Amino acid sequence: MVTFALLEALALTGAVYGGILLWLHPVLTDWSEAFTILGQALTLSFCFIVGLYYNDLYDSRIVRSLSGFVPRLVQALGVAMLLLVGLYVLYPKARIAEGPLVSSVLVMVGLLLVLRAIWYRLMHHPAFAERVLIVGAGPLARRLIETIEASPHAGYRIVGLVDDTEIVEGPPLRYPIYGPLHSLVKIAESARANRIIVAMNERRGRLPMDQLLEAEARGIPVEDGLRTYEQLTQKLAIETLTPSLLIFSGGFIETRFHATARRLVSLAVAAVGLVLTAPLMAIIALAIKLDSRGPALFVQDRVGRWGRPFKLLKFRTMTPCEGATSEWVQDNEDRVTRAGRLLRKFRLDELPQFINIVRGDMNLVGPRPHPASNAALFAERIPYYVLRTGIRPGVTGWAQIRHGYANNLEEEIEKMRYDLYYIQHLSFWFDIRILIDTVKIVLFGRGSQVADAYPSARLGGMEPVPAPSAGLRRRTLDAPPRARR
């Protein structure tokens, strides 16, 4: 989708540039005039691209058809126009709004509709999808099927599964199951597969290495199901990970340079943020005091780096209560104050955490710190929880923008998958992406973009499958497969 976004931006810039050139300047007198027109075209295109991005129109998991694109395009136009007005107010001499503005907007909208109609048609057309054969029929294979079906933009079309077991666990599948594994190459050629994905939970003694090597030699790429799942969902399937895989993966280790750079950036942003938001925080504190009884700040013990506790600061959004209470958001909805609902919607209750950053408790980006009261439970029930505490927690993080609040242990495990993915892929540009998405969430007052608009995105973990179903036996290569319904 990134490549498509770049091509779309170039197409929009070219169309607007050509339109302005033909409308106002059929003959250019000098190069400076050409660069002025190019600047106008680039500015208009930039505003449009930002509007599209902030309305999730570059997220194929959310918008998967032209019918879903059009309503959000109207919102994107509104964002683009606001940006243009803001730029014109700041830089009136830049001549941003000069020329056939309305005509340029109409050209861009028409071009966008044409490009997206083509894109969505290609995205869903079977002829342009890669024919995929999945090796395995266990929990990982089933979750991978679910993920591929929910990701039409990935360009995969499942043609069947290959498995050696007599009984295939779980509910009926709607794809044919072939066998045996030692006929994998013959099965792949018979099914005209373009790619083989290995999604076996238990591989020792079962993986047909000679067949996989032969498939590679015949030009059929072979890839790991865990890696495919990770690329499509941008989270880790922690239930299928092994300690050796994590140790030798090369991830989960933050270099000294990266840690120092992240710390310096976090300190700089926190210092500037404290100065710029001080008047706003004073107004928020006053509103909290006027709205309900109790202090303006809420202080809670949270788990920091290496499990060390620290005092996290937030604006209070609930009415105070006596005694221990649940930490889950859904159990405390009745306690949220009127001011608190507004603060939570736009994440303004997190502003005091700039102080935590300056103290050294947190960074700007990282896994959200868990309440200390839940730490023992999470360490016991969530696999590889210790890896999460290897870096400083953050005000915002990958799990926060992809999932939002957690309301039970299962959702905490789901967020853990995103946290581990973030830790494994630590980079400066990943942090920038998270910050940009965080701004989008704050400006539009959204909880979890994906979870709100696309509920199945919260799936994708490796939860235990139901008990084995009798009668779901494999098909050999000699027996034609039947689609499972």
Mean pLDDT of the chain: 81
Dist CA 72 CA 50 (whole Å):
13
Cβ of 106: how many Cβ atoms within 10 Å? 12
Helix (H) or strand (E) holding 133: strand 130-135
* Distance of alpha carbon 452 from alpha carbon 42, whole angstroms: 33
d(CA 294, CA 322): 12
pLDDT tens digit sequence for 312-353: 999 999 988 766 666 666 666 778 899 999 998 888 999 999
What is the predicted pLDDT for the residue at 462?
Answer: 33
**Predicted local distance difference test score (pLDDT) of residue 190:** 93
Residues in the chain: 485
CA–CA separation, 415 vs 473, rounded Å? 35
Q: Please write the tens of the pLDDT for every residue from 152-204.
A: 778 899 999 998 875 556 677 889 999 889 999 999 999 999 999 999 877 77
Three-state DSSP at 302 gives: strand
Q: Is there a contact between 415 and 399 (Cβ–Cβ < 8 Å)?
A: yes
Nearest to 71 by CA among 81, 56, 50, 49: 56
Query: What 3-state class would DSSP assign to 347?
Result: coil
Digit-by-digit pLDDT tens for the chain (485 residues) are: 667 778 888 888 888 777 777 766 555 566 677 777 777 788 888 888 888 888 888 877 678 778 888 888 888 888 888 888 888 777 776 665 555 677 778 888 888 888 888 888 887 777 778 899 999 888 889 889 999 988 877 889 999 999 887 555 667 788 999 988 999 999 999 999 999 999 987 777 788 899 999 999 999 999 999 889 998 999 988 877 777 777 766 667 778 888 898 999 999 999 999 999 999 999 999 999 999 999 999 999 999 999 999 999 999 999 887 666 666 666 667 788 999 999 988 889 999 999 999 999 999 999 999 999 888 889 898 888 888 888 999 999 999 998 887 888 888 999 999 999 999 888 888 999 899 888 888 877 665 433 333 333 333 333 333 333 333 334 444 433 433 33
Q: How far apart are CA 117 and CA 123, in angstroms?
A: 10
**Given this model, what pLDDT does residue 214 score?**
95
pLDDT given for residue 140 in this prediction: 87
Q: What is the DSSP string of 384-409?
A: THHHHTTS--EEE-HHHHHT----SH
Rounded to two decimals, the pTM is: 0.75
**Residue bearing tokens 């683009």:** 80
Q: Is 163 exposed, middle or buried (0-12, 13-18, 19+ CB in 10 A)?
A: buried
Q: Please give the pLDDT value at position 198.
A: 94
Res 168: pLDDT: 59
- Cα–Cα distance, 353 to 261 (Å, whole number): 19
Q: 88 vs 206, 208, 421, CA distance in Å?
A: 65, 64, 41
The CA-atom distances, in angstroms, between 237 and each of 47, 107, 365, 413, 417 are 37, 44, 22, 10, 6
Q: Which CATH architecture has domain 127-234?
A: 3-Layer(aba) Sandwich (3.40)
Largest CA distance in the chain: 81
Cβ burial of 25 (10 Å; 0-12, 13-18, 19+) is middle
pLDDT of residue 451: 37
Task: Assess contact for 24 and 39: CB atoms under 8 A.
Answer: no
Q: Where are the domains of the chain?
A: 2-124, 127-234, 256-450
User: Cα separation of 282 and 286, whole Å?
Assistant: 6
